[in-house]
Structure 1
Amino acid sequence: MNLTPETNIESNVSGYSKSFPTTFRKAKNDILVDNNEKEYLDFFSGAGALNYGHNNDYLKKEIVAFLGSDAPIHCLDMDSEMKLNFLNAFQDTVLKPRGLDYKLQFPSPSGTNAVEAAIKLARKVTKRSKILSFTNSFHGMTASSLALSGSQEHRHNDIPAQDVLFFPFDGYFGEDVDTLEYIKQMVASQGSGNTLPAAIILETIQAEGGIKVASVDWLVGLQQFANENGILLIVDDIQVGCGRTGNFFSFERAGIYPDIVLLSKSISGFGLPLSLVLMKPELDIWTPGEHNGTFRANNLALCGATTALDYWKDRNFQNEIEKKAQVVEEKLNQLRTDSEAVKAVRGMGLIWGIEFESGEFAKKVSQQLFEKGLIIETCGNKGQVVKLLPPLTITERNLSNGLDLIQETIHQLHGQPILTY
């Protein structure tokens, strides 16, 4: 049954249905099809939950077989063969090759649940309450996660105080201001009025904040500062992890070793709800059942997650991402040169942002692209950035076609001739 606006009982809070007003019927790899049989190229990937594309055949085969086996799908955090398979695969495929020693916690299934668990643990370990977060950050929509999100300050009045300190992210004041030095002085110097926080939480690339990429030097310096002062470093890799930046973890490029890492979205591989908290073993001071949730280790999601790790058993998949990333970078840099409408382009791997002077123009770009059959969203503190987030498995042809369509649309909206390159 198709519901009309008069009979639709869904809450007004639904957002993406208004940004992309059609009814989707089918999805495969990098293409969505609506109920009018119109095809849409996906440069959105479920906000980063579909790194391996829609209905990935390799993953689906294992998930269908798992459903047909009558293996337990839901058993809280009791041990199951599937949970143990995942833990072993994650250890062997992800942690050991990178020299990382973490224990894994399954909080409830969404990313914001992982954030809440990590903050709770950091306060328990350090016996301190303050959490340092950053300008333009985004960590979720539950109380603590929302309070940590600098990009959501207009919503902070709706939640109780959460003892959060906000400091400038790398480059917030421009290239000439060392925000790390400012943080050091304001956090650890006598007379600043601040006491040491329990933890620092950051995205190494701020996705919702406008695709702001922290430099390697800044990340290394931040880790050193945290270590020297007994502050836990939490990396929120919920949107930019699982290969989005080219490496499995977004922080690998800096060679840092966070105390806690948060994963969700594409960790399940198939778009099923799942989240993880990775913690250094000495931080695991939880007592059994101290932090729990009904759906914290869903075995169907773990089936997808275990199978998706096969993509990371060698460098082939990573090499494909790097090759596609080079195409994106070259085309967007050329677009920046050719179009006066484009203020900046930023990104890494297959997460990129095209910044304009206004949110109104970025919104028009997104709307026009939707009409032409490409789904892409906006981000940034004023919605002024169009965010490219295609599946990592997108075909090279569709990636190139999508980039050409973005170029064409920006030039048309800005009244410039379309340049070919």
Structure 2
Amino acid sequence: MNANALEAFEKYESQARSYCREFPVVFARAKSSYLYDERGEAFIDFLCGAGALNYGHNNDAIKQAVLDYIGGDNIMMSLDLHSQAKRDFIETFQRLILQPRGLDYRLQFTSPTGTSVVESAIKLARKVTGRQNVVAFTNAFHGMTGVSLNLTANRYHRQAVGYGSVSRLPYDGYLGEIDTVDFLRKLLEDHSSGLDLPAAVILESVQGEGGLNVASVQWLRKLRELTAEFGILLIVDDIQAGCGRTGRFFSFERAQIEPDLVCLSKSIGGMGFPMALLLVRPGIDAWSPGEDNGTFRGNNLAFVAAAEALRRYWDGHAFERELADKEAGIRRALEAIAQAHPAMVRQVRGLGLMQGLEFHAEQDTAAVIQACFERGLVVECCGPRGQVLKLMPALTIEPEVLARALEIIAVAVDLRAAHRPELAELLAPLAAAQGAPA
């Protein structure tokens, strides 16, 4: 890489930049599951815009719909004025997503980012219930502004922010075999617990940034029953785990529950266009006109791209069957890697096309990421220590490209294991505790 190629970024861009530090090339174009740098070198993309590109880069069908719309001098930005593009999206979303699943929600288009739609959901929950406290969970990530940042668990991200009352409770599995919904019930029933009756409980049914933690079906159902019993609104943040990422359009479908509010962003925009959508149970749509708004809530290019994506992939069940096959293939490959390297890999985590390897040491994760990049694969980490290698391929990835990427990961882990002479020393305390020779 020519050092001059990065000079403008390093000289003029803020220190806040992050992903580019691990992947120090200048990307010039992208197609399907590939990124290409300025020299034409190809990289398989397992980052996918942090989940904003579920249908890959420059998806032919979606892109053509957008180009046709642009070519017709159609309206681009419309605030919340009625537009043909918005109507088409609303009707398509109702017909292909909500009605087949028996779901009844009003659609609110918020400012077009994930953090904004979370802010709107919490604001509405507090307005409807008249209560301020919100329950969020350990390892949660809900955004980087105001209230949503306060809901986020990671100390590095939260910094010194404080916006309203948030009670942090343990996510499913956080306390081992202890049922944390039972723990929440005890707090709600005990008037001396110190927990104010919440306006809402917000959760990701699969935690992405928190480490690919998957809530069980039983836990989700019990939580839904408990929140309904106490008049607490249940908010599911499906910003990263939604739009098919976990195998079905909504991540909570597997539990057959109906949240009061659902937050969507990222891939709801079709091909990376900014868009955020709050699904609101009709009985709690209590806004006054203009009470929650934002200049860029009328991104018509996103409406066009999103509607085409829904028609192309979610009309029927064929796409879900494809996702199930890919999920199974990823799981088999990751399980094989984990079994081959138990001293390095703790376990396979995640669901759908949102899976990964949890390493005992975060240094191994970082080394594997670097080795993958050197071999043409962009893949990131997650978890409280960055200890989980997080696979986020496009849902539309070709089977042969997926196989090649999984092979790169296997080679990278093999190479890391071969260059870990200190591994025995690292695991010596564990071996001693188990009574085995170090």
Give 3-state SS (helix, strand or coil) of 2:119's partner.
Answer: helix
Q: Quick check: 1:123 aligned with 2:126?
A: yes
Q: Tell me the matched-pair count.
A: 415
- Structure 2 CA distance, aligned partners of 1:396 and 1:188? 51
Superposed CA deviations along residues 294-341 of structure 1, whole A, max 9, x for unmatched, are 001210111000101111011111111111111001111122211121
Show the counterpart of 1:196.
197
- Structure 2 CA distance, aligned partners of 1:408 and 1:172? 32
Q: Which amino acid is the alignment partner of residue 277 of structure 2?
A: L
TM-score scaled by length of structure 1: 0.96
Show the counterpart of 1:82.
85
Show the counterpart of 1:368.
371
- Structure 2 CA distance, aligned partners of 1:408 and 1:3? 29
- Structure 2 CA distance, aligned partners of 1:201 and 1:248? 19
2:98 to 95, 99, 108: 95
Show the counterpart of 1:320.
322
- Structure 2 CA distance, aligned partners of 1:306 and 1:155? 34
Give 3-state SS (helix, strand or coil) of 2:198's partner.
Answer: coil
Superposed CA deviations along residues 349-388 of structure 1, whole A, max 9, x for unmatched, are 1000210112211111111111111000000000000000
CA displacement at 1:156 relative to structure 2: 3.4
TM-score scaled by length of structure 2: 0.93
1:20 to 6, 9, 23: 23
Check 1:23–1:241 CA distance in 2 against 1; reply closer, same or farther (3 A cut): same
Show the counterpart of 2:307.
306
Q: Quick check: 1:248 aligned with 2:249?
A: yes
Check 1:385–1:76 CA distance in 2 against 1; reply closer, same or farther (3 A cut): same
Show the counterpart of 1:291.
292
Show the counterpart of 1:226.
227
- Structure 1 CA distance, aligned partners of 2:277 and 2:189? 31
Q: Which runs of structure 2 are paired with 1:150-165 in the superposition (5 Å)?
A: 150=153, 152-165=154-167
Check 1:84–1:381 CA distance in 2 against 1; reply closer, same or farther (3 A cut): same
Segment of structure 1 superposing worse, 129-138 or 350-359: 350-359
Superposed CA deviations along residues 214-235 of structure 1, whole A, max 9, x for unmatched, are 0000000000000000000000
Give 3-state SS (helix, strand or coil) of 1:104's partner.
Answer: strand
2:170 to 164, 168, 171: 168
| CA RMSD in angstroms, aligned pairs only | 1.4
Q: Which runs of structure 2 are paired with 1:35-54 in the superposition (5 Å)?
A: 35-54=38-57
Show the counterpart of 2:109.
106
Show the counterpart of 1:259.
260
CA displacement at 1:122 relative to structure 2: 0.2
- Structure 1 CA distance, aligned partners of 2:269 and 2:288? 26
CA contact (8 A) 1:210 1:380 kept: yes
CA contact (8 A) 1:236 1:262 kept: yes
Q: Which amino acid is the alignment partner of residue 370 of structure 1?
A: F
Runs of 4+ aligned residues of structure 1 deviating over 4 Å after TM superposition are none
Q: Quick check: 1:66 aligned with 2:69?
A: yes
Give 3-state SS (helix, strand or coil) of 1:309's partner.
Answer: helix
Show the counterpart of 1:350.
353
Give 3-state SS (helix, strand or coil) of 1:32's partner.
Answer: strand
Segment of structure 1 superposing worse, 296-305 or 328-337: 328-337
Structure 2 residue runs without a partner (length 5+)? 421-438
Show the counterpart of 1:386.
389
CA contact (8 A) 2:134 2:166 kept: yes
- Structure 1 CA distance, aligned partners of 2:157 and 2:28? 34
Check 1:347–1:157 CA distance in 2 against 1; reply closer, same or farther (3 A cut): closer
Q: Which amino acid is the alignment partner of residue 191 of structure 1?
A: S
2:404 to 379, 384, 401: 401
CA displacement at 1:7 relative to structure 2: 6.9
CA displacement at 1:407 relative to structure 2: 0.9
- Structure 2 CA distance, aligned partners of 1:194 and 1:395? 49
Superposed CA deviations along residues 174-229 of structure 1, whole A, max 9, x for unmatched, are 2x211111111123322211121000000000000000000000000000000000
- Structure 1 CA distance, aligned partners of 2:10 and 2:19? 19
Give 3-state SS (helix, strand or coil) of 2:334's partner.
Answer: helix
CA displacement at 1:5 relative to structure 2: 5.2
Show the counterpart of 1:279.
280
Q: Quick check: 1:135 aligned with 2:135?
A: no
Superposed CA deviations along residues 31-59 of structure 1, whole A, max 9, x for unmatched, are 00000111100111110000000000010
Give 3-state SS (helix, strand or coil) of 1:250's partner.
Answer: coil
- Structure 1 CA distance, aligned partners of 2:362 and 2:165? 31
- Structure 1 CA distance, aligned partners of 2:63 and 2:82? 23
Segment of structure 1 superposing worse, 407-416 or 383-392: 407-416
- Structure 2 CA distance, aligned partners of 1:186 and 1:357? 34
Q: Which amino acid is the alignment partner of residue 192 of structure 2?
A: G
- Structure 2 CA distance, aligned partners of 1:155 and 1:71? 40
CA contact (8 A) 1:188 1:195 kept: no
CA contact (8 A) 2:334 2:356 kept: no
- Structure 2 CA distance, aligned partners of 1:57 and 1:28? 9
Structure 1 residue runs without a partner (length 5+)? none
Q: Which amino acid is the alignment partner of residue 172 of structure 2?
A: D
CA displacement at 1:8 relative to structure 2: 3.3
- Structure 2 CA distance, aligned partners of 1:306 and 1:55? 15
- Structure 1 CA distance, aligned partners of 2:141 and 2:219? 19
Give 3-state SS (helix, strand or coil) of 2:252's partner.
Answer: helix
Show the counterpart of 1:11.
14
Q: Quick check: 1:210 aligned with 2:211?
A: yes
